[in-house]
Structure 1
Amino acid sequence: MNLHFIAIGGSAMHNLALALHHKGYKVTGSDDAIFEPSKSRLDKFGLLPPECGWFPEKITTNLDAVILGMHAKENNPELQKSKELNIPIYSYPEFLYEQSKNKTRVVIGGSHGKTTITSMVLHVMHYHDKEVDYMVGAQLEGFDTMVNLTEDNDFIVLEGDEYLSSPIDRRPKFHLYKPNIALLSGIAWDHINVFPTYDNYLEQFKIFVDSIISGGVIVFNEEDKDLKEVVSNSENQIRKHAYVTPEYRVENGITILDTPEGELPIEIFGAHNLNNLAGAKWICQHMGIDEDDFYEAISTFKGASKRLEQIVASDRTVVFKDFAHSPSKVSATTKAVKDQFVDKEVIACLELHTYSSLTPEFLKQYKDSLNPANKAVVFYSPEALELKKLNPISKEQIITAFGREDLIVYTNAVEFQNYLETLDYNNKAVLLMSSGNYGGLNFDDIKNWAK
């Protein structure tokens, strides 16, 4: 097939482009800006566009299909040309479904934990030399790309995002996969620019459960009341398997999991991650992995990139970076670090970066989320508000929303970075949570500051 990617530089898009290139397809693409690591990875395989910009002349009748990225606009000239020539146009998830019609589709969804659970499943499969196709939202140790597509593998494991599919397809991505086996980790309101009410957001998960192939399986977190109700009320003819957080304890900074075979030390920590592990175990069992083989493999799992990723570790300090940005994730991650490092002073730093997190009405959802930390810091950029065309937010609004009078608030990236540079790291556990980069923070600098 001859394929053209409109907005090839995106994290997901460039990985799909690479996967299809490795599969033997002819791939071209365009974008108005491409950053690292996408740039180097595309360049390595000859897929980097010669120049940035949109070029309608690239769209010809020789193309079998166009894959449209979320970054492109509805008036994109290459998209318009594709429509004029009646070339099939696919969103990212639509094309993944086309590639997996004849496979057993395993879809991991939920407002939180889906990347970690998908990563756990793939780690276990890799550990036991079980080849599967996949798409995951983080770089994993032992995997070259975030997308793998073959003709031969029986299973495909897909991270099921509830955000929109493309500029011209307003359906959530996970509605398009039609899973045979599915997991939902929990429901916590997010993406308010697309789902303005919680009920509207909740409806997307009802649709997802009903999209599971008849006779399939839904694995779900029974501890989430709304999720339990969504699954229970579904009349879809599917099997329903609930899971809960397993028993565990923390001893000398090591998490020890209670298993049928006895106590098992594991690399990850936090109640939310143990809950994720329980869900991953069910999925792996449905994919043919015995319980004891699952535990053997999962004991070596160190986490997905940017998911409680340890960037500094010494006798005197630990520093983690985490993708957490929604209220439920921030609360769970902060509590996890505090529970794991009870003898250290926990400093939790959060960047408000997403559209939802910078909206006054949604800010209220963050109340008490940073309370487990001994010290709490919030950074946000007024320029980000301007770019997203949002009204200004004051420091006082932030403090009130989080419900913490001692909250430290920074609106200047240099001042925030100076705070981290001059911090006394002795006997500290520092947690950096963001889906952005704190206005250009170099994490290698932190490794030097924390020495």
Structure 2
Amino acid sequence: MKVHFIAIGGSVMHQLAIALHHKGYQVTGSDDEIFEPALGNLAKVGILPGSMGWDAARITPDLDAVILGMHARADNPELQRAQELGLKIYSFPEYIYQESLQKKRVVIGGSHGKTTITAMIMHVLQAQQKEFDYLVGARLEGFAQSVNITDAPLIVCEGDEYPASVIEKRPKFHFLHPHIAVLSGIAWDHINVFPTFDIYLEQFAIFIRQMEAGHTLIYNSTDEMLGGLVAREGRHLKLVPYTLPIHMIRNGVTRVYFEEGFADLQVFGEHNLLNLHAARLVCNELGIDDDAFLPSIATFKGAAKRLELVGKNEQCAIYRDFAHAPSKVKATIQALKHQYPNRRLIAVLELHTYSSLNAGFLNQYQGAMDAADEAVVFYSRHALEIKRMPALQPDQIAAGFGRQNLHVFNQRAQLEAFLDAQQYRETNLLMMSSGDYEGMNVHSLTKYLQ
């Protein structure tokens, strides 16, 4: 197989390229710029493009497939040449499906928790020495890469609702066609792609309708919106609802109970308990019973930037989290308050996505940070400029969150000065962002533990 990647430097694109190279395919690629870690990863296996930029001469009639990354534009000369030659052009998820036609496919969808549920399933499958391929959106301990394609009989995929490519605007998860699917919940996101909630909701309805009769849909029945959608659209499926499992917190450790068994966990929070229940039901469908699942999940430490512990001492713990959408922010804050009920919580949220930086979306954050003792919102004027979005004013943000004592900063120095001025005795610090606070090193905050 000869495969060419247009925009090979993407975070998942380069991982798929490496996986196919390891499978024995002849892999080439191109990009106008490639940064670390993709640069080093591609160079290490010998498939880093010899030069940056686009060149239609790279596209030859003997290519079996051209895989198009999100970074590529419609006028890309390599894409145009591939179209002229009538080559098979795939978006990332379309190609994943082609490689998994003979596999049992598990797809994890929903507005939140996708990465964690996928990671939990992968962790248990690995612990049980099962052969499987995977696609996940984060770095996971024990896995060399985030995409793997082999001859395994099973694939576990995180399936998001963002468009597949510049020429294929449908959501990625529409192309994966699962035998077993999970939907974790529905909360409006990606306002730049789905300008209304109804349009966003319809993407999940399509996903359910497309599933073949008799296939399994595991869904969060505590989400009323999702429950109603499943009742309307999922009558042709085997429906498996899940709720918050029985649990208790003792000395800062969460214990979860299923039937006659239990496990003491290294993760916490009601959202993670819901995620765990979904992962358990998937594993049960794959033939892993609770006697095997519980000791395996007890060693799961979480995915990168998902309530990830940065550092701690006897008085303080510092966590970082990928949370950016309103429901994720609220769930992450509540998790820390429940786990450490006697500690003060300083919560910092960076607005970084198109949705969160959109003035018309800000009211979705009403009450999202109310449980924090000190709530801070940071946004970068540079991020607005890069995204070509209009300026935001601090009073707009304060009104959107509905919290009068909200601290709003748009300069990194302001944020650092605020954090330096806090006391951290019997206090936790939570840093939430899909960005980097204008280049601030979150691990440097461990100075507050000294």
Tell me which interval the TM-score lies in, with the shorter structure as reference length: over 0.9
Contact 2:312 2:318 survives alignment (8 Å): yes
What's 2:304 paired with?
Answer: 305
What's 2:145 paired with?
Answer: 145
Percent identity between matched residues is 50
The range that moved more, 423-432 or 301-310, is 423-432
Contact 2:312 2:449 survives alignment (8 Å): no
Contact 1:210 1:236 survives alignment (8 Å): no
1:329 aligned onto 2:332:
no
Contact 1:243 1:278 survives alignment (8 Å): yes
Q: Aligned ranges for residues 185-334 of structure 1 at < 5 Å?
A: 185-234=184-233, 237-334=236-333
What's 1:430 paired with?
Answer: 429
1:259 Cα shift? 2.8
Unaligned runs of 5+ in 2: none
CA distance in structure 2 between the partners assigned to 1:413 and 1:10 by the alignment: 27
SS of equivalent residue, structure 1 residue 170: coil
1:374 aligned onto 2:348:
no
Task: Write the deviation string for residues 133-165 of structure 1: whole angstroms up to 9, x where unpaired.
Answer: 1101111111111111112x2111110111100
Task: Write the deviation string for residues 184-233 of structure 1: whole angstroms up to 9, x where unpaired.
Answer: 00000001111111111111001101111222100000000111111111
Contact 2:261 2:294 survives alignment (8 Å): no
Q: Which amino acid aligns with 1:261?
A: E
SS of equivalent residue, structure 1 residue 321: strand
Unaligned runs of 5+ in 1: none
Contact 1:334 1:348 survives alignment (8 Å): yes
CA distance in structure 1 between the partners assigned to 2:181 and 2:155 by the alignment: 12
The range that moved more, 95-104 or 29-38, is 29-38
What's 2:344 paired with?
Answer: 345
1:69 aligned onto 2:50:
no
Contact 2:208 2:234 survives alignment (8 Å): no
CA distance in structure 2 between the partners assigned to 1:109 and 1:312 by the alignment: 31
What's 1:414 paired with?
Answer: 413
- TM-score of the superposed pair, with normalisation by structure 2: 0.97
> CA 1:53–1:424 in 2, change beyond 3 Å: closer, same or farther?
farther
1:7 aligned onto 2:7:
yes
What's 1:105 paired with?
Answer: 105
What's 2:388 paired with?
Answer: 389
The range that moved more, 18-27 or 80-89, is 80-89
CA distance in structure 1 between the partners assigned to 2:51 and 2:312 by the alignment: 42
CA distance in structure 2 between the partners assigned to 1:22 and 1:77 by the alignment: 28
Q: Which amino acid aligns with 1:131?
A: E
Contact 1:421 1:446 survives alignment (8 Å): no
Dislocated runs of 4+, deviation >2 Å: 258-264, 417-427, 447-451
Contact 2:254 2:267 survives alignment (8 Å): yes
Contact 1:179 1:211 survives alignment (8 Å): no
The range that moved more, 31-40 or 343-352, is 31-40
What's 2:49 paired with?
Answer: 49
1:270 Cα shift? 0.4
Aligned length: 450
What's 1:403 paired with?
Answer: 402
CA distance in structure 2 between the partners assigned to 1:68 and 1:424 by the alignment: 49
